[in-house]
Structures are given as C-alpha cells and as structure tokens.
Amino acid sequence: MKVLVTGGAGYIGSHAVRELLDSGHQVVVLDNLSKGHEEAIDKRAAFVLASTEDVDLIVNKIKLHGIEAVMHFAADIEVGESVTDPFKYYQNNFSNAVSLLEALNICGVKKFVFSSTAAVYGNPERTPILESDLRNPINPYGRSKMMVEMALEDACKAYGMGYTILRYFNVAGASPDATIGEDHQPESHLIPKILMAAREGTAVKIFGTDYPTSDGTCVRDYVHVMDLARAHVLALENLSPGKGEVFNLGSESGFSVREVISACERVTGRKITVEEGPRRAGDPATLVASSKKIREQLGWERKYPDMETIVAHAWNWHTSHPEGYVKETEKSHFILTEMASEEYRMAETYRYFGE
Ligand SMILES: NC(=O)c1ccc[n+]([C@@H]2O[C@H](COP(=O)([O-])OP(=O)(O)OC[C@H]3O[C@@H](n4cnc5c(N)ncnc54)[C@H](O)[C@@H]3O)[C@@H](O)[C@H]2O)c1
C-alpha cells in the first residue's frame, strides 16, 4: 500500500515508517520538523517538509504519490504545555487533523490509522481499561485527541471514512539496532529521564511511595516502540473503508516506577539515586490498558514484553547517540532559515529518497 505517514520524523512515526517499509509498503513522510528529526526518516521513504494544516499541498501530494492510506502521528504531546497553552493543542492536534481529513476526503482516501492516547480515559474507573470504557480526559492534550476520535466517528458516518484508533500510554525503547530512538526536547518520559540520570549521575524523583500498589509507587503501561509500530501496520492492513475500530495497546499488568528504576540499574550496571517526594495531584495509582481486543482480533503479539529488553534498547540508543539527533536538527533549521524565497523553499524542501 502507498501510505502517507504524518509525524514520520518523530519518535514513534519513524519506527512505524521502518516497520511499514520492511513489510513491503511504500511510504511518504509528511513532517514539519517542529519536533522531529530529518535524520530519523528512513532513506527509503519520500519526505515532504510541510504541515498537516496545508490542505492544498496534501491534496497534491496524495495525487502525486497515489496515496491509499494515512497513518497520523503528527501532534504536540506535552500534557503540561497543553494546560498552559491549550489553543496550541486544539489547533495542531485537532484543527490540523481535520484539515488533513478534509484533504483525504477530497481525494477519496478512506483509510486512516490514528495515533491516539490512553489520556482520553482520564482517571479511569477501573483497570485494566477496556476500549468501551468512558472517555473522560482531564487535560487539553487528552481532549484534543478525543475530539479527533469524534471527528473520525462522524467522518465514517458521513463520508465512509475507514479508521482505526490506537490508544496507548507510555511508549519506550528504540530500534534493536540502535539506529533510531527517542529524542524529545523537552524529555518528559520516565525511561529516558532515568537513563539520563544514570549517565549524568543525577537523581530521579519518585512522586508518591504510598500508593496501593505492590511497592507503593505508581504502576503504568509501557510498550516497546517496535511492538507499537507492528500494531500500526496490522491496523492498517486490516482497515476497511466505512468501518471504524478502536484498540488499546497496553502491557496488561504494567510496571511500577521502582520496577522501571531497578530494570534501568540492571541494564546500565549503575546505581541510580532516587529522591522520594509526595504524590502529585491527579496521578492515579495504576493506569493499565487491556490489549485483549487487538490480540484476539488482529493477532497482535508483543515481541519485547519485558522491561529489561525495553530499557536495554533505549540504553543502546542513548549511549550511541548521547546528543540524540541534534546535529541534523540544526542542519534542517539552517536550511529552513536560509531559504530566501517561498519558491525556493517549495523546490528544495521536497526531497525524495528512493523514488
Ligand atoms: N510518546 C508516547 O509515549 C505517546 C503515548 C501516547 C500517544 N502518543 C501519540 O503518538 C504520536 C507520536 O508521538 P511521538 O512520541 O512520536 O512524538 P514526536 O514529537 O516525537 O513526533 C511527532 C512528530 O509530528 C511532527 N509534527 C507535529 N505537528 C505537525 C504538523 N502540524 N505537521 C506536520 N508534522 C507535525 C513533529 O515534527 C514530530 O516529528 C502523537 O500523536 C502522540 O500523541 C505518544
């Protein structure tokens, strides 16, 4: 299939692009590099430097490349920032997603895989969370994602758009060969933060040690990024126009903060300094989603379910790329800022790899 991957220069998108290409699909990446990295884009994919808001450009690219389906990862992902700057999230995550859907609709593309989040559940009433459980997001990030889910439900009814929504919490790890991995600025995810503390000898904070869990710390879902990428490809290959599906991608039992820290100590061989503090407001004790539905319906199996493998792959990535993709980001920035005219920008920024 010819697939447009938005956000394909980002953490999860770049791994999904690799999995798509390895599965025999053709890929066009669309990314504005606001957070992504050119270096992360697989050389076998075509790359369009543009934003999801640009309906005319996307219509052109869909026609030019004969795009048959879209995987949509492009979004802003910082929950805290979404609280202080909610319009940024409603604009980029929701409004721009509608623009993208509009372009698809103009071109008659009716297959859409949406990278959603378990944040749409808010503080769930039970765990493991099922797909049918109430959506009740507690921050603008979660709400912006829920609104896209709703737009998809309506687009399915009105225009016959086929969609699969994938909801997940914490994605972690890196490609096993350590060529692509996680490079977020700022980094708010637990595993890279612990590994950074291991490298730099700084302390990791634990917020709350008196939760009703096995060791008193919060329990969360962690899924290896390659397992997540595989789920996206499976979702795409099982999509039909006019039908909508929702799947959770979770680790079923989850891992406590202390368990994650212990795994990091075993993998790195370093003692990690811990600072214990009080609970943070709004942090539920356990957030774990059931993946029974996608396992039963699509045969999804996690290849890397254990925390040590997830951490080992992340550690290999971080130690082999101590500054992440930083050099390439600077290079891209240079290219963008040096472009004199719009015409030149349009000509130069559509770089095609492997076509
Ligand atoms: N990382 C996680 O643990 C996690 C958990 C649940 C859901 N998600 C979802 O997965 C998706 C990918 O997350 P990630 O961790 O890879 O984030 P990321 O920031 O690494 O990747 C997002 C990519 O989208 C691009 N982008 C943003 N806005 C764009 C726009 N308007 N047009 C074109 N490109 C744009 C960025 O440049 C970046 O390359 C997001 O939709 C996020 O909500 C992530």
Q: Would the pLDDT of 74 be above 60?
A: yes
Instruction: Locate 107 and state its tokens.
Output: 């071109």
User: Is a pLDDT exceeding 80 seen at residue 7?
Assistant: yes
pLDDT at 42: 97
Please tell me whether residue 180 adopts helix, strand or coil conformation.
Answer: coil
The answer to whether residues 290 and 252 touch, using CB atoms and an 8 Å cutoff, is yes
Distance 10 CA to ligand 1 centre (A): 6
Residue 327: which pLDDT band, with cuts at 50, 70 and 90? Answer: low
Percent of the chain with pLDDT over 90: 87
Residue 283: what pLDDT?
85
Question: How would residue 171 be classed by pLDDT, with cut points 50, 70 and 90?
Answer: very high
pLDDT of residue 347: 35
Share of the chain above pLDDT 70, in %: 92
Q: Find out whether the beta carbon of 51 lies less than 6 Å from any atom of ligand 1.
A: yes
Q: Tell me the CA–centroid distance for residue 318 and ligand 1, in Å.
A: 19
Q: Are 119 and 104 in contact (CB under 8 A)?
A: no
Protein residue whose Cα sits closest to atom 15 of ligand 1: 11
pLDDT of residue 352: 41
Is residue 263 pLDDT above 90, yes or no? yes
| 201-235 pLDDT tens trace | 999 999 999 999 999 999 999 999 999 999 999 99
Which pLDDT score is estimated for 330?
Answer: 52
> For the ranges 68-72, 156-160, 178-182, 349-353, which has the lowest average pLDDT?
349-353
User: What b/e string do you get for 150-185 counting C-beta neighbours within 10 Å, with b at 16 or more?
Assistant: ebbeebbeeeebbbbbbbbbbbbbbbeebbbbbbee
Pocket test for ligand 1, best of 5, 28, 31 (most atoms within 8 A of CB): 31
Domains in the chain: boundaries: 2-352
pLDDT at 280: 87
Nearest CA to ligand 1 atom 32: 51
Alpha-carbon dihedral sign for residues 272, 276, 280, 285: positive
pLDDT at position 354 over 50: no
Least confident of 78-87, 298-307, 344-353: 344-353
Q: How far apart are CA 141 and CA 228, in angstroms?
A: 20
| C-alpha 184 to ligand 1 mean position (Å) | 10
Determine whether the shortest distance from the Cβ of 257 to ligand 1 is under 6 A: no
* SS3 call for 40: helix
What is the distance in A from the centroid of ligand 1 to the CA of 114? 11
Structure-model confidence comparison of residues 338 and 8, the more confident one: 8
Give every CB contact of residue 113 below 8 A, 6+ residues apart in sequence. Answer: 69, 70, 71, 72, 163, 164, 166, 232, 235, 236, 239
Is the CB of residue 235 below 6 angstroms from any atom belonging to ligand 1? Answer: no
Output the pTM of the full model. Answer: 0.92
pLDDT at 284: 85
- Report whether residue 171 contacts ligand 1, using a CB cutoff of 6 Å: yes
Alpha helices in the chain (DSSP H): 11-22, 55-65, 79-84, 86-89, 96-107, 140-159, 190-200, 225-237, 257-268, 292-298, 307-320, 326-338, 342-349
Q: For strands 170-172 and 162-168, give the pairing.
A: unpaired
The answer, yes or no, to whether any atom of ligand 1 lies below 6 A from the CB of 9, is: yes
The CATH superfamily assigned to 2-352 is NAD(P)-binding Rossmann-like Domain (3.40.50.720)
Residues 275 and 206 sit within 8 Å (Cβ to Cβ): yes
Short-list 283, 305, 95, CA closest to 205: 283
User: Residue 166's pLDDT band (boundaries 50, 70, 90)?
Assistant: very high
Give tens-digit pLDDT for 179-188: 999 999 888 8
Residue 332 pLDDT exceeds 60: no
Q: Which of 144, 145, 109 is nearest to 4 (CA)?
A: 109
List the catalytic residues.
Answer: 141
